[in-house]
Structure 1
Amino acid sequence: MTAQTFVAACAGMRSGRDPVANRDAAVALVREAADRGAHFVQTPEMTSLVERSRAALFEKVGPEETDVTLAGLREVARERGVVVHIGSIAVRAGDRIANRAFLIDRQGEITARYDKIHLFDVDLPNGESWRESATYAGGGRAVLAETPWGLIGLTICYDVRFPALYRALAEAGAGMLSAPACFTRQTGEAHWHVLHRARAIETGSFMISAAQGGLHEDGRETFGHSVIVDPWGRVLADGTAEPGIVMAEIDLALVAEARGRIPALKHGRPFTVEVARSAPRLAAAE
């Protein structure tokens, strides 16, 4: 490996209702990835707890200072000397909960935090209904995090549908972007891969996203398919709905190459939006 190359791993999970069991599963996956040569390991959105009941969620979630998953992943980062990106955990934020990502360095220190900006409030055709804003407090700032190899833009799940966020992160210097997720099976089957390829192509960046997959204890079903996409839109690694590790070598020289071939980030121009209205129709002659 060089200053511009490293091995990234995505840890696909099926988190349940027991935070301690989820922590143990995440720690085991980080150890496995490190043993297989990974330098950077990412876990999915809601690594610590997948719980649809608002009451049960509040019973089990506390401040980040006491979160067992955060503590466990900080320890394994230090133990194995790897960078760990926690896709997100649920932490108390006043009368609501923050869906918060963390970047942890090789010494186990937290170097960045990001609270999910876009909240998933939708009604799906199969009858599923989600109102994240009823429980979660949305974030208000985009975050770039330093790694030993360059900057990574931290986003979470539903954020991936908002391309302006990724363009802003890339324009600010990110060569890597991420959207670790707990995507529903229905929306994942339709859009997961194409959204990741689109964000990578639009920005000339790597997309690295670990995912929850399978049927969870709270009854939801998630798509899985942790994915790593290169700056030209090629899928380098793709998981399944089963928990496990997918890995790929990241060569950041490909970022400059892709952006040189298609310099779309340099070609953006300000514009206004106008509505062209037709002239009023004349009344027919009598």
Structure 2
Amino acid sequence: MATFRMALIQLQISSVKSDNVTRACSFIREAATQGAKIVSLPECFNSPYGTKYFPEYAEKIPGESTQKLSEVAKECSIYLIGIHLFDIDVPGKITFQESETLSAGDSFSTFDTPYCRVGLGICYDMRFAELAQIYAQRGCQLLVYPGAFNLTTGPAHWELLQRSRAVDNQVYVATASPARDEKASYVAWGHSTVVNPWGEVLAKAGTEEAIVYSDVDLKKLAEIRQQIPVFRQKRSDLYAVEMKKP
């Protein structure tokens, strides 16, 4: 399939986990009826955003949330990407230390679909060009980053990083953010976005709850890679980005 539709669910997060999960499943079903084949939820979709909430909302896997997501993905015959966080300290602006509560990942996350190979990152991962390069080397054509930038990093870096990763690696990049809640202790930037390999923004939400749809055109991706053949012309005799772990 040369073209397929994907959807990003920009969910308004409440303090009631069961309501978050139920509403997420409702949006997933709606996206599937609109032809979406790959659907992404935002980071931390079932919990308010903050380290003080994590112990209360934490689940074993499999658990309530993963069970519901598995069921709705099977029901709708889609590929579903769900949930995580990061560390930030901007003097006078915001301080948030996710690593005090959550452990870091230690492996690459990719999966194959009938449409393309997908590479996964979470929010802060988007700042590391090497991860995206590894995914491109492994044949990924779409990178998905559920994330939750804030009102400081969002306007400065959210779109910039997505477009950079897309152009650097000639891939589609999609980011799914929670909807903005001005009353929350951590206010997410919103603006869930899909960017093509040329660096063009194909679809972008505002700050409110929404579903963002975009068609991923793999023929367009192939044309861009032929027009600007960076993979063939990289100087691998001079430099390389390599995996330390599979």
2:96 to 127, 130, 133: 130
Q: Does 1:180 align with 2:146?
A: yes
1:264 to 226, 230, 241: 230
Cα distance per residue 1:23-65 (max 9 Å; x no partner)? 01211110111122212211111112124243x4212212111
Q: Distance in 1 between matches of 2:111 and 2:230?
A: 23
Q: Which runs of 5+ in 1 are unaligned?
A: 89-98, 100-118, 273-286
Q: Scaled by the length of structure 2, what TM-score is found?
A: 0.90
Cα distance per residue 1:235-263 (max 9 Å; x no partner)? 11000111110101111122221112222
Q: Scaled by the length of structure 1, what TM-score is found?
A: 0.78
Tell me the SS of whatever aligns to 1:65.
Answer: coil
User: Residues 31 and 199 of structure 1: is their aligned pair in 2 closer, same or farther, counting only changes over 3 Å?
Assistant: same
Partner of 1:277: none
1:24 to 9, 13, 22: 22
Matches within 5 A, 1:86-105: 86=82, 88=83, 99=84
Q: Does 1:84 align with 2:80?
A: yes
Q: Are the aligned partners of 2:148 and 2:178 in contact in 1 as well (CA < 8 Å)?
A: yes
| 1:216, distance to aligned residue in structure 2 (A) | 6.4
Q: Does 1:229 align with 2:195?
A: yes
| 1:212, distance to aligned residue in structure 2 (A) | 1.2
Q: Distance in 1 between matches of 2:201 and 2:93?
A: 31
2:12 to 11, 14, 26: 14
Q: Distance in 2 between matches of 1:172 and 1:263?
A: 17
| 1:217, distance to aligned residue in structure 2 (A) | 6.2
Tell me the SS of whatever aligns to 2:112.
Answer: strand
Which residue type is aligned with residue 75 of structure 1? E
Q: Distance in 2 between matches of 1:259 and 1:53?
A: 42
Q: Does 1:62 align with 2:28?
A: no
Task: Report which structure shows greater RCO (CA 8 Å, sep ≥6).
Answer: 2
**RMSD of Structure 2 on Structure 1 (CA):** 1.7
Matches within 5 A, 1:1-286: 3-54=1-52, 56-66=53-63, 68-86=64-82, 88=83, 99=84, 120-215=86-181, 218-269=184-235, 271=238
Which residue type is aligned with residue 25 of structure 1? R
| 1:184, distance to aligned residue in structure 2 (A) | 1.0
Q: Distance in 1 between matches of 2:122 and 2:57?
A: 21
Q: Are the aligned partners of 2:9 and 2:40 in contact in 1 as well (CA < 8 Å)?
A: yes
Q: Distance in 2 between matches of 1:166 and 1:176?
A: 10
Q: Distance in 2 between matches of 1:73 and 1:5?
A: 25
- What is the percentage of aligned positions where both structures have the same residue? 32
Q: Structure 1 segments of 4 or more deviating over 6 A?
A: none
| 1:126, distance to aligned residue in structure 2 (A) | 3.8
Q: Which runs of 5+ in 2 are unaligned?
A: 240-246
Structure exhibiting the larger radius of gyration computed from Cα positions: 1
Tell me the SS of whatever aligns to 2:26.
Answer: helix
Q: Are the aligned partners of 1:43 and 1:210 in contact in 2 as well (CA < 8 Å)?
A: yes
Q: Which structure features the higher share of strand residues?
A: 1
